[in-house]
DNA sequence: TTATGCATGTAAGTCGTTACATGATTTT
DNA sequence: AAAATCATGTAACGACTTACATGCATAA
């Protein structure tokens, strides 16, 4: 149930139309919770029906843009959600899954993928650092911005972690000892010192 | 499409029944791709119908346990998947969303959540380190285990990152300057230096 | 023989993704 | 007027979650 609350937060920051929200989800909010415009429109409809937001009186300018604002009920729902007890979900990392699979059947082509991911993470880190420099300059470290800055620091830390890990992974051999990529040659299932 | 390949990997490591897979997904594999038994049974059915795995001749012992093994086609499908080009998905971190929401409407109850998460991550890290000590002792750093060890190192690194970040977050003030938790008092939408 | 646990499964609903549809406005 | 773009939306599917159902084996 994160999407509706992400939308409430975005609308509190600034009342917006569906498309404007979509644009904003491509940037800051979407760094930690992406959403397509279809999801957003559907969720806006639900939120309006639930009485948590309402459409602002139409500005009859261009297009049919409908802007929404958060109602007191919506704000209250958001406050409740913040304090809810939610366990961290077990991570879903297809890349690690692929590494583990490569340990069993061989790893041709995997190094290229790791390098590609490394480049992507480096680009993302650069983008985060740019935002930090722009919005949270060292000279004015204010307490009011602390939460926003913490969110950004989390993004920076995660990217830095992946870059370090991928670099370490690419530094050593990726091939597995016995198993080749030959489809027919089944390796023995027994010799797995991996944790179960 | 990660779950079927996670299952193929698990079955290559050791042919198993649905429940055995469920147990194993609660442990090693599930650290990076969790799955419930319902998902697993459904996926086993699909994989069998696709001719990627087959049920082993019944051991008529207790219960109705059906064990599956991977067929050459399944192994080939896994090899292909490893080399596929898959972009890293944008992270989904509800906790960061909640921080961002707290920056807008206030943060009562958030500190308790952060502390709870910190404890959970510390426990998880301890578990990973225990596994590392058991399965990858320093004296026998072999290349054959390198991929499995890398996967585990990723888990360790992620937990370490969260612990560090949460500690840093809890070290400072979490309250937001102006906004209280009062549902009716809407704050101005303008003053957001946050990146958009 | 009831109860408890094991093992496999069905059903329903939500969330997310991909592809397509529609009307309005701006550009050529 | 035709084409491109903007803005909102529908439809269909697949993945995941939660709750429930069933048959079998062992234990009380």
- What is the full per-residue pLDDT of chain B (196 aa) written as tens digits? 899 999 999 999 999 989 999 999 888 888 999 999 999 999 999 999 999 999 987 654 444 567 899 999 999 999 999 988 888 888 899 999 999 999 999 888 899 999 999 999 999 999 999 999 999 998 877 777 899 999 999 999 999 999 999 999 999 888 765 444 444 333 433 333 343 3
User: What's the confidence (pLDDT) of residue B59?
Assistant: 53
User: What's the confidence (pLDDT) of residue A182?
Assistant: 42
Q: What is the DSSP string of chain B?
A: --HHHHHHHHHHHS-EEHHHHHHHHHTTGGGTS---HHHHHHHHHHHHHTTSEEEPPP--SSTT--EEEE-HHHHHHHHHHHHS--PPPPP--HHHHHHHHHHHH--TTHHHHHHHHHHHHHHHHHHHHHHHHHHS-GGG--STTHHHHHHHHHHHHHHHHHHHHHHHHHHS--S-SS--S-TT-PPPSS---S--
User: What's the confidence (pLDDT) of residue A76?
Assistant: 95
> Is the Cβ of A5 closer than 8 Å to some Cβ of chain B?
yes
| Tens digits of pLDDT across chain A (196 residues) | 899 999 999 999 999 989 999 999 988 888 999 999 999 999 999 999 999 999 987 654 445 667 899 999 999 999 999 999 998 888 889 999 999 999 999 888 899 999 999 999 999 999 999 999 999 998 877 777 899 999 999 999 999 999 999 999 999 888 765 444 444 333 433 333 344 3
User: What's the confidence (pLDDT) of residue A110?
Assistant: 92
Distance (Å, rounded) from C-alpha A148 to C-alpha B97? 10
Distance (Å, rounded) from C-alpha A51 to C-alpha B100? 23
Give pLDDT tens digits for B94-122.
Answer: 999 999 999 999 888 899 999 999 999 99
User: What's the confidence (pLDDT) of residue A190?
Assistant: 35
Give the residue with minimal CA–C1' separation from C6.
Answer: B63
pTM of the predicted model as reported, rounded to 2 decimal places: 0.86
User: What's the confidence (pLDDT) of residue A103?
Assistant: 93
Cα A26 to Cα A42, A76, A133, A147, B19: the distances in Å are 17, 26, 20, 21, 40
Dihedral over alpha carbons B85, A123, A160, A85 (to 10 degrees): -80
User: What's the confidence (pLDDT) of residue A145?
Assistant: 87
Query: Which of A13, A63, A15, A18 has the alpha carbon at shortest distance from A36?
Result: A18
Name the fold adopted by A2-57+65-82: Arc Repressor Mutant, subunit A (1.10.10)
- A194 min Cα distance to partner chain B (Å): 7
Scanning A17-107, the segments in alpha helix (DSSP H) are 18-26, 37-49, 72-83, 94-105
Contact yes or no for A177 and B108 at CB 8 A: no
Work out the mean pLDDT of chain B and round it to a whole number.
85
Contact yes or no for B165 and A154 at CB 8 A: yes
Best of A96, A117, A156 to substitute, by most chain B Cβ atoms within 10 angstroms, is: A96
Neighbouring CB atoms inside 10 A of B54's CB total: 14
The reply to whether B19 has its C-beta less than 7 Å from any atom of strand D is no
> Is the Cβ of B62 closer than 8 Å to some Cβ of chain A?
no
Burial of B61 (0-12, 13-18, 19+ CB in 10 A): exposed
Instruction: Give me the sheet containing A67-70, strands edge to edge.
Output: A16-17, A67-70, A53-55
Neighbouring CB atoms inside 10 A of B59's CB total: 10
């Amino acid at each position: 149930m994160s999407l509706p609350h992400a939308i409430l937060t975005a609308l509190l920051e600034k009342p917006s139309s569906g498309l404007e929200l979509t644009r904003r989800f491509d940037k800051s909010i979407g760094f930690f919770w992406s959403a397509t415009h279809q999801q957003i429109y559907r969720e806006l409809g639900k939120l309006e029906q639930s009485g948590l937001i309402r459409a602002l009186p139409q500005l009859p300018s261009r297009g049919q843009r409908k802007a929404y604002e958060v109602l007191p009920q919506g704000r209250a729902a958001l406050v409740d959600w913040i304090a809810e007890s939610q366990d961290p979900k077990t991570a879903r990392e297809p890349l690690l899954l692929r590494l583990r699979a490569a340990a069993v059947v061989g790893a041709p082509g995997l190094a290229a993928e790791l390098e590609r991911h490394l480049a992507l993470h480096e680009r993302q880190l650069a983008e985060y650092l740019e935002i930090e420099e722009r919005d949270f300059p060292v000279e004015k470290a204010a307490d009011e911005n602390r939460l926003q800055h913490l969110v950004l620091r989390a993004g920076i830390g995660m990217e830095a972690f992946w870059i370090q890990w991928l670099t370490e992974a690419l530094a050593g051999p990726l091939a597995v000892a016995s198993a080749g990529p030959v489809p027919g040659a089944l390796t023995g299932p027994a010799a797995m010192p991996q944790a179960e």
